[in-house]
Structure 1
Amino acid sequence: MLKNIITIIVCSTVLIGCTPTVKVQAPNEPININLNVKIDHEINIKVDKALDNIINKSGLY
């Protein structure tokens, strides 16, 4: 009986000593995010012939 109690006490002290530690700290170097983005776009406009004539006459092109 005494041996079981001593075993429980020893095991509990060993388990208490093994608690995980979490450290949160800022990095020594700055964080670099490299964004190489290429944007290409193409706009296609289809205009009716009658509307095209109106636009050309009014000078809106």
Structure 2
Amino acid sequence: MSPTPRHAASDGLEILRWVVGIGLYYSINWHHDQNQKKKNDARAAQLVAAEHPLDAPDATAGVR
């Protein structure tokens, strides 16, 4: 009994699946990193505002 021959088309699909899978991984990772960056920037801005309340913009800006 001879082994089943592999077709070139199936090899191309396998490569395509790998490429798309790796692309999806990096896409998800990039979006996750962007969300983390936004959260960290917002947290840093809150800390700066808490440390320097007179420098922080608020609703009564310009009124002293």
TM-score by length of 1: 0.45
Q: Between Structure 1 and Structure 2, which shows a larger proportion of helix residues?
A: 2
